[in-house]
Amino acid sequence: MKSLHVLGANARNQLYLTYNKASGRKIADNKLLTKKKLRKAGLPVPKTLAIFKTRADVDNFAWEDLPDNFVLKPRSGYGGGGIIIVRKKAKWAGEWRLMDDSIIKASDLKFRAFDILAGQYSLRNEPDQVMIEERIKIRKAFFKYAYQGTPDIRVIVFNKVPVAAMLRLPTAQSKGKANLHQGAIAVGIDLTTGITTHGILNGKFIKTIPLTKKKVNGLKIPAWNQILTLAVKCQEAVPKLGFLGVDLVLDKERGPLILELNARPGLEIQNANLAPLRRRLERVEGLEVRSADHGVKIAKSLFAERFADRVMVEEGVKTLKVWEDVKVLSINGKTKTEIRAKIDTGAWKTSIDKGLAQDLGLLEKNNILWTKIYKSSLGREERESIGLTFYLAGRRIKTIANVADRITLRTPLIIGRRDLSGFLVKPRK
């Protein structure tokens, strides 16, 4: 990663936390308030089984009526402190087994509840409330990756665009909790495909899960598009949080659920993705994002991982000439139009003629990612950036293309070097 583009804590606080207003932070810092707000917006959250506001609530509660598994947590906790995850009932009444198979009694749960009420785990050491929630049932896809607990997914959203995501995997060290500070594994996720990339444990890069030796890269996260869309909808539900972390889990039966919102998301996600966050934030700042789906489409277009090395190993390096025949997909993906395109290593982005884009239906509103004003020899002009898919030398390439009037030029399409990873370009003799 280039250090110039890495987002540090000071820059985060001064440049981006200012997008979070006091009313938004108040909601994010209160898990009960968060759930109420998200439910009102029709977004899925775990079920709440009980709430304790006073010591009398704790004393008078029928603990024996709790289900086989559940989670006890502070309303305003921070960093995973104070959370108890119960896996199943033990042999005797009033006893349960935790994720590490140890026994916990109702009296122990009551003592933890009293500590939470006293503010021992709250964000500002102020008196707090206690929540008991349903425990999420782990998806089969994660069985060999997570140790005795449910992994969660953190998505950072800015200006209604997901800019980074990571999977947090419980370990023996973290005692079944998906908490990085307690020893969980952070795994980067490619925003376009939902496939895991790089893993970090205790600040060191790892290639395999310690106990199972499963590779950290290559895991396809289920319901990935739905996860990204839900993350953006959280920001729509709490618009006073312009820069936030959304924590989600995948329940075996209910699918993606939103755990909580974080108004001060940590920065470890940069290391897990080997991608500096500041550059990504700058790229989406000020864009007009029409909807959650539009925000997800922008993210997938801007922040796709480049698997060029893997492609070259599997397919071999392909050589391109300055002029190549490509097939461009129409908006519905049903029509392929063959075009003579110029391979232009002097240009960064691919550019397509406005008339051709119009004929292929690519200028429909839902395919326009953003519009910018450019200065040229002809003065100021407005240009669209659109989603474009084409086939080049047998490879399917999905990218962002600038739209320009190229009717007087030799070709309606030039392919910039952003889309030439994994190719060799043979210069014209």
Residues in the chain: 429
Q: Which of 112, 135, 158 marks a domain boundary? A: 135
Q: Determine contact, residues 33/240, Cβ cutoff 8 Å.
A: no
Q: Where are the alpha helices (DSSP H) in 205-329?
A: 224-237, 269-273, 277-284, 292-302, 308-315
Q: Which of 305, 322, 338 marks a domain boundary? A: 305
Q: Determine contact, residues 4/101, Cβ cutoff 8 Å.
A: no
Which CATH number characterizes residue 356's domain? 2.40.70.10
Which CATH number characterizes residue 294's domain? 3.30.470.20
Q: d(Cα 258, Cα 249) in Å, to the nearest integer?
A: 7
Q: d(Cα 19, Cα 10) in Å, to the nearest integer?
A: 15
186 and 256 fall within a common domain: yes
Q: d(Cα 224, Cα 222) in Å, to the nearest integer?
A: 5
Q: For every one of its 429 residues, what pLDDT tens digit does the chain have, with 9 covering 90 and above?
A: 666 688 999 999 999 999 999 999 999 999 999 999 999 999 999 999 999 999 999 999 999 889 999 999 999 877 778 999 998 898 888 889 988 889 999 999 999 999 999 999 987 788 999 999 999 988 888 989 998 889 999 999 999 999 999 999 999 898 888 989 899 999 999 999 999 999 999 999 999 999 889 999 999 999 999 999 999 999 999 999 999 999 999 999 999 999 999 999 999 999 999 999 999 999 999 899 999 999 999 999 888 765 434 434 344 568 899 999 999 999 999 999 999 999 999 999 999 999 999 999 999 999 999 988 776 665 677 889 999 999 999 899 999 999 998 888 899 999 999 999 878 888 764
Question: Considering Cα of 289, then 41, then 50, then 89, what sign does the dihedral take?
Answer: negative
The parent domain of residue 315 ranges over: 308-425
12 and 39 fall within a common domain: yes
Structurally, how many domains does the chain consist of? 3
Task: Report which DSSP code applies to 119.
Answer: T
98 and 175 fall within a common domain: no
Q: Which of 270, 305, 340 marks a domain boundary? A: 305
**Among candidates 264, 287, 238, which has minimal Cα distance to 17?**
264
